[in-house]
């Protein structure tokens, strides 16, 4: 599924993603025992500039049976550009699938502290 993260001002606290539900064949996917990882890159073959995952608590499975997770708020201070990302979920049965992908625009700020 394509999900373009709303634009963010460099150096501000990003509000995260409060809730996303993963569906498969029209039903919420049970994420019990799953792990998730999301990487943000300037371009596909560049090193990741931000890593989110369930393993480092930057992705939280808030209602796994209902397929719901979130990404908590955090400071994001990337150089202004349009970045790529995708999110892979490893299900408890061993299946690995990319469920989300898209762009994330980081814009310049005017005020300097």
Q: Say what the pLDDT of residue 111 is.
A: 81
91 belongs to a structural domain? yes
- Number of structural domains (the chain) is 1
Q: Say what the pLDDT of residue 1 is.
A: 84
Q: Say what the pLDDT of residue 17 is.
A: 93
Q: Dihedral of CA 75/87/41/55: which sign?
A: positive
22 belongs to a structural domain? yes
80 belongs to a structural domain? yes
CA separation for the pair 44, 11 (Å, rounded):
23
CATH classification of the domain holding 41: 2.60.40
86 belongs to a structural domain? yes
109 belongs to a structural domain? no
pTM, to two decimals: 0.89
pLDDT along the chain (113 residues), means of 10: 92 94 94 97 96 96 96 95 97 94 94 76
82 belongs to a structural domain? yes
57 belongs to a structural domain? yes
Among all chains, which residue has been given the structure tokens 């990319």? 98
Cα 105 to its chain centre, rounded Å, is 13
Q: Which residue range is the domain that position 30 belongs to?
A: 5-104
37 belongs to a structural domain? yes
């Amino acid at each position: 599924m394509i999900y373009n993260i709303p634009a963010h001002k460099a150096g501000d606290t990003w509000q995260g993603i409060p809730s996303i539900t993963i569906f498969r064949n029209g039903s919420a996917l049970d994420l019990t025992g799953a792990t998730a990882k999301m990487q943000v890159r300037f371009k596909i073959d560049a090193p990741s500039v931000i890593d989110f995952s369930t393993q480092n608590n930057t992705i939280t499975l808030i209602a796994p049976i209902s397929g719901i997770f979130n990404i908590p708020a955090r400071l994001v201070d990337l150089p202004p550009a349009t970045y790529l990302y995708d999110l892979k979920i490893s299900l408890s049965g061993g299946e690995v699938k990319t469920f989300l992908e898209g762009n994330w625009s980081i814009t310049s700020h005017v005020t300097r502290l």
